[in-house]
């Protein structure tokens, strides 16, 4: 297991607003229970576990019901939706709907659009239809919509506007510039910044962060992916959030305690209140 060392603990608790504990185990061998414990040691006291397919959604529900510090999000990822046979997708969505009504499920996601890995128009249409379905489910259940958006900024906003923006929306791993940030903020979204904000070329992300109100920022790992500097290229885990949180505080030129406090309270607000 070639994982980075634990960083210096944060001075105030922070929440990992988007994680895949099951995928992290597959990639790095880090057991979910150990991952949760290591995160707590450095001040990352809560985790939002996201399921992207039926197996991942089932795991997310089980994890949230096993560990008090974990809540779940369930959905069919847009790329998975585009790859499913026409007879498979409705059955998968029906199971997602059943899971979504469980108390420890706080989010519908990650759902959205991905024009990077899915490039054909038929796949794009399937993604749009699935995204609209998930938006309706978030509205019906009153749960937070977690949006995956890769190379699809304008289309994501078009679908949101057409279907109606749910009460709570999180832009997972925000990847746009300041103009797109303003457009998302105008729709009431929280913007979640992950490891890529620490990458040297991504000045547009830092510009977006600077114009995001302090009460609208979140942070996440998307573990085991998107590991922040100085460990880019190695497997990610929730315990590495301190690197991203400290970097964000520097970009914002704000006290680290203040930023951490906002990140914690914003996550509670974004996902329907405290848990644990």
| Feature table: binding site for a divalent metal cation | 18, 20, 110, 148, 172, 222
Side-chain-side CA neighbours of residue 230 (13 Å): 3
Start-end of H helices in 19-84:
21-28, 32-41, 54-66, 78-83
| Residue matched to tokens 């962060």 | 209
> Is residue 73 within 8 Å of 146, Cβ to Cβ?
yes
Q: How far apart are CA 170 and CA 216, in angstroms?
A: 9
Which residues line the annotated binding site? Answer: 18, 20, 110, 148, 172, 222
At a CB cut-off of 8 Å and minimum separation 6, what does 59 contact? 21, 22, 49, 51
CA-closest candidate to residue 212, choices 238, 188, 230: 188
Describe the strand order of the beta sheet including 190-193 as a list of residue ranges: 14-19, 44-50, 70-74, 105-114, 144-150, 169-171, 190-193, 217-219
């Amino acid at each position: 297991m070639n994982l980075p060392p634990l960083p210096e603990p944060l001075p105030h608790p922070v929440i990992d607003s988007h994680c895949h504990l099951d995928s992290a185990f597959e990639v790095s061998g880090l057991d979910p229970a150990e991952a949760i414990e290591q995160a707590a040691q450095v001040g990352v006291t809560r985790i939002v576990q996201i399921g992207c397919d039926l197996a991942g959604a089932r795991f997310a529900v089980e994890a949230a019901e096993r560990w008090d510090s974990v809540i779940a999000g369930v959905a069919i990822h847009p790329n998975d939706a585009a790859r499913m046979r026409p007879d498979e997708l409705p059955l998968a969505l029906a199971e997602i709907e059943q899971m979504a009504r469980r108390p420890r499920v706080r989010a519908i996601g990650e759902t959205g659009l991905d024009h990077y890995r899915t490039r054909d128009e038929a796949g794009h249409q399937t993604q749009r239809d699935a995204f609209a379905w998930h938006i309706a489910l978030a509205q019906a259940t009153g749960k937070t919509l977690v949006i995956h958006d890769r190379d699809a900024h304008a289309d994501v906003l078009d679908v949101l506007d057409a279907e109606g923006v749910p009460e709570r929306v999180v832009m997972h791993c925000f990847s746009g510039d300041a103009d797109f940030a303003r457009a998302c903020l105008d729709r009431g979204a929280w913007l979640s910044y992950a490891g890529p904000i620490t990458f040297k070329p991504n000045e547009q992300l830092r510009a977006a962060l600077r114009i995001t109100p302090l009460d609208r920022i979140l942070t996440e790992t998307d573990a085991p992916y998107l590991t922040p500097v100085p460990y880019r290229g190695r497997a990610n885990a929730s315990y590495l959030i301190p690197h991203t949180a400290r970097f964000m505080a520097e970009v914002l030129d704000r006290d680290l305690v203040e930023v951490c406090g906002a990140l914690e309270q914003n996550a509670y607000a974004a996902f329907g209140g405290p848990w644990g």
